[in-house]
Amino acid sequence: MQNPLYLEFKTPFKSAPFSKILPKHFIDAIPKNINDSLKSITSISNQKESPTFNNTIIKLQDSSVLLGRNTSLLFNLNSAETSSELQNIAQKIALKLSNYKNDILLNEKLFERVKYVFLNTDRLKLSSEELTLLDKEFKTFTRNGALLSDEEKQKLREVDELLAVKALAFGEKILSDTNSYYLHIQDVKKLKGLPASSLSQAAKIAASKKLNGWVFTLDAPSYIPFIKYSEIRSLRKEISKAYGSRGFNKNENNTTEIIKEMIFLRNKRSKILGFESHAEFVLEERMSLSEKNTKQFITDLYEKSFPFAKMEWDELTSFSKENLGINKLEKWDIVFVTEKFKKSFLKIDELELKKYFSLDKVLLGLFNILGRLYGLSFLVNNEIDVYAKSVLVYEVYDDDENFKSLLYIDLYPRKGKRDGAWMTSYLGQKKNQRPHVSVVCNFPAPNKSNISLISFQEVTTLFHEFGHAIHGMLANTNYESLSGTSVLWDFVELPSQIMENWCYEEEALEIFARHYKTNKSIPTSLIKKIKTSSQFQQGIQTLRQLGLASLDLSFHSKDIKKIKNIKSHEDFILKKFQFIKPYKNQCLSSSFSHIFQGGYSAGYYSYKWAEVLDADAFELFLENGIFNKKIAAKFEKYILSKGGTEHPMKLYKKFRGKEPDPMALVKRAGLITTN
């Protein structure tokens, strides 16, 4: 059978023929794609004509089309439907891609042409998008070693190769540790407090392992309900310790040495490129611009949130002593006690609330909301090939029946799928090409009645990922490298986080929050409690996020030589952000995938920064109506469709009419004293 990855897909919408793609196809196709791309690069570099925007910058955009598509396929599958075979292939390909990237970025002839265009083009003759592309290409070369000596270029190559392999190895170790643990319960008395949906899922997992009783794993849909509702403290402790020690156990999956190697390599790379630290390298291309500004942002928020966090913690500990007989809160108690306190304080029963959020209704409601805001419609297509049976595919159209995107939705956990939730794409958007976008989550699988009830937090997660998705689906740029989520990293969370706001608004909740049995709308009394809950323990939550952001920055600052022991360093950094003493055998850093496998290194603060943006932006909707089509059209025009074609602050000011105000977040979170 011919390798399907060699050519453009002759399928509906050029969708991936997943059932025809075998792991071995990547081994053959991607090296071929790399060679073909390098031939194109050589052709561009050796042109006799003087360098121009069209014959150099534009041609560069078209030099790796199949390679980009096939690598997206490989790494997306490695996250959503992996195997040991695919993991091995991904490691080998990552090394080849690192070399390929450097073959381009350290190509002197090519850089000379790019530099010539950058220095000699009449910038007045270029559109703002073309100017951004030109500046981005030039910066990509200079920030990746084009101005280095041959000796330094070789050092950079070696560092990049190692980093590519280490990041993949980190992810594989965490996945292995996650999959290797399970809690097997056979005594029904030990199930006290657990909801029926959790028990149903646990019974399914046990059956799949050919065990009697119930099995709970470290995957989010299994772990979170257990740690939140189990009345058996000793079992909460056991599963919490297993979760908190992923990557920190004394086995082959320990990641602490990989972390040391990665932070050393990132620092070494930044030094080769002339930066004091990895943080300075990264933050030069962020809205915050520098490590100093980022630290100040964290400090300012810390000072505003700590007094509230301390007050909230004192309330929680008092409640725990007086009502639950827990005199000293431990890590495995926090979520459980918080849930009890929330139920008592806000009179919200999460399990009762869940009955109004069946996943199918939430998804249809989300489609409805996106239709009202952006005129989108979603048509299921059962003929499009998928990589797993539970994946759904939709065709997405606008009000004028223009095709906008294919949308893959993958909602349930399974072996070989990493935990968490994310948005990705299988095909990017550019002129004359619409994107193929994917939303991946890990929600509870449907029960025997084919119903999946999700928590309110999972509702906001789905809205969040769909915010990323519409950033991709509504992209309208000429060049894929500037399209959709290809924006500065501390801007990328604005479309996702602003979508979460609709989850708290009565007008939106009435659309999708309906009882799974009676189909009755959620009562107004519950809606009021949901709105009140948006400020519940915001001090503690803010403190936690700021702690993670500080930990991230500390691993990538100029002082990393002081880090001798990952665990000791973590304990020192997080001390002022936590109210519980650290545990000897647990380490957060060892499974901090966002910064050691994902793209958030020196950028985890962007979650909080994006909250500033989304709080400020959503105020405009609140002032004019949450379904105001004019405001939505403005948001689409200046934010969603533009991608990275202009600097995000320019785009934001075009939408909002001003720079974002951090006080919008402080007020929304209730972190402000009122007289």
Residue tagged 């968490």 (tokens): 420
Q: Which of 332, 68, 350, 104 is nearest to 223 (CA)?
A: 332
Check residue 138 and give its pLDDT.
95
CA–CA separation, 401 and 292 (whole Å): 48
Q: Give bridge partners of residue 182 from the DSSP assignment.
A: 217
Average pLDDT of adjacent 10-residue blocks, the chain of 675 residues: 91 96 96 96 95 96 95 96 94 91 91 96 93 94 90 93 93 94 97 93 95 95 95 97 96 97 96 95 88 92 95 97 96 96 88 94 98 98 96 97 98 90 96 97 90 94 98 97 92 94 95 95 92 92 96 94 94 96 95 90 91 94 97 98 95 95 89 67
Work out the number of other CB atoms within 10 angstroms of the CB of residue 619: 16
CA–CA separation, 462 and 502 (whole Å): 12
DSSP state for residue 210 in the 8-state scheme: T
| SS3 assignment, position 653 | helix
Domains (ranges, CATH) in the chain? 4-147 (1.20.1050.40), 181-244 (no CATH), 359-536 (1.10.1370.40)
| SS3 assignment, position 216 | strand
Check residue 420 and give its pLDDT.
87
Check residue 346 and give its pLDDT.
86
Q: Take residue 456 and report the two structure tokens written for it.
A: 């309110």
Q: Which of 518, 552, 541 is nearest to 309 (CA)?
A: 541
Check residue 674 and give its pLDDT.
55
CA–CA separation, 6 and 543 (whole Å): 49
Helix (H) / strand (E) element for 427: namely: strand 422-427
Check residue 675 and give its pLDDT.
46
DSSP state for residue 252 in the 8-state scheme: T
Rounded to 5 degrees, what angle do the CA atoms 159, 163, 166 make? 140
Is the pTM higher than 0.75? The answer reads yes
CA–CA separation, 552 and 294 (whole Å): 11
Helix (H) / strand (E) element for 182: namely: strand 182-185
Residue 149 phi/psi, 5-degree rounding, is -70, 165
CA–CA separation, 444 and 217 (whole Å): 12
Report yes or no: 230 and 387 within 8 Å, Cβ to Cβ.
no
Report yes or no: 374 and 466 within 8 Å, Cβ to Cβ.
no
Q: Take residue 166 and report the two structure tokens written for it.
A: 């280490």
Work out the number of other CB atoms within 10 angstroms of the CB of residue 575: 11
Rounded to 5 degrees, what angle do the CA atoms 142, 144, 150 make? 90
End-to-end alpha-carbon separation of the chain, Å? 74
